[in-house]
Amino acid sequence: MRILIVDDEKPARDRLKRLIGNLPEHEAVGEARNGHEAVERAMEQQPDLILMDIRMPGMDGIEAAKQLLEQEQPPAIIFTTAFSDHALEAFEAKAVDYLLKPVKLERLQKALEASQQLNRAQLRHSVEEVEQSEARQHICARVRGNLVLVPLEDIYYFQAEQKYVTVRHSDGELLIEEPLKALEEEFHRDFYRIHRNALVRLDKIAGMRNQQDTHRIFFHDISDQLDISRRHLPGVRKILKSL
């Protein structure tokens, strides 16, 4: 099996190469230092499998995996990380396995054997199932160098400003770089657009206020208020009547 190694630390890449060298049925065909390089190398070399770190500068392993799964023939992915708290994210990204550093030869061999049972057609089918299934149940963001998962049910609203989107949740707020339109399409069952720059969670809405011809949504449990545009006001009124 042809394997691409992705890690921002050279000693980690070298260790994986040495381990793979002990497994004659497998071959390390390339390396990458971050998610961007991983996507580029994968397109060039078409590996069967990628061993990929999660925490990397620039594009991290989770985001890279999502992009790689968009390929017509995506490689299988095994995440390697020193942090056990990323397991949920890894398997949401359809990873075949999740290895903790330092990776042991026996554990690596077992993961590679399992991945061989999943051919490219099967992997693509599993990706299509995910795409057709319900939306994500968590939003993932990087906060002070750490990846944080916020349950969708804890989010009050998404508000766009320039290239970032603020995610207001029960414990505060964070920034993500996902387009508001994509969030609207994915979470249309639970969120409603009230303005060109804002989506609100329906079950968090407490009501609507009119202040000097400005209509605003207010929420349960938090003091935030968001403007409703004239364009979206009729739809908001219908939504409020149904709540």
Domain pair 2-132 / 138-242, same fold: no
Asked if residue 6 has pLDDT above 90, the reply is: yes
pLDDT confidence of 93, banded at 50, 70, 90?
Answer: low
Task: Give Cβ neighbours of residue 203 (< 8 Å, ≥ 6 apart).
Answer: 190, 243
Q: 């390697």: which residue's tokens?
A: 80
Q: Report helix, strand or coil for 112.
A: helix
Asked if residue 166 has pLDDT above 90, the reply is: yes
Question: At 38, phi and psi to the nearest 5?
Answer: -60, -45
Structural domain spans, the chain: 2-132, 138-242
pLDDT higher for 123 or 52?
52
The Cα 171–Cα 30 span in angstroms is 42
- Of 63-67, 154-158, 171-175, 191-195, minimum mean pLDDT range: 63-67
The Cα 218–Cα 172 span in angstroms is 16
Asked if residue 156 has pLDDT above 60, the reply is: yes
Cis preceding linkage at 102, omega within 30: yes
Asked if residue 116 has pLDDT above 60, the reply is: yes
pLDDT confidence of 183, banded at 50, 70, 90?
Answer: very high
Model confidence pLDDT, tens digit, residues 117-144? 655 545 555 444 444 444 577 787 777 7
Model confidence pLDDT, tens digit, residues 210-223? 988 899 999 999 99
For position 92, what pLDDT does the model report? 57
For position 28, what pLDDT does the model report? 97
Q: Are 136 and 92 in contact (CB under 8 A)?
A: yes
Average pLDDT score over residue span 37-47? 93
Answer CATH for 2-132 from 3.40.50.720, 3.40.50.2300, 1.10.3720.10, 3.20.20.70: 3.40.50.2300
Asked if residue 17 has pLDDT above 70, the reply is: yes
β-partners of residue 192 are 200
pLDDT higher for 83 or 6?
6
Q: Report helix, strand or coil for 149.
A: strand
Dihedral over Cα of 67, 121, 43, 19: its sign: positive
- Of 141-145, 181-185, 228-232, minimum mean pLDDT range: 141-145
For position 133, what pLDDT does the model report? 47
Asked if residue 145 has pLDDT above 90, the reply is: no
For the chain, the average pLDDT equals 86
Asked if residue 241 has pLDDT above 80, the reply is: yes
| CATH number 3.40.50.300 is the correct assignment for the domain at 138-242 | no
pLDDT higher for 133 or 95?
95
pLDDT higher for 71 or 46?
46
For position 230, what pLDDT does the model report? 94
* pTM for this prediction: 0.52
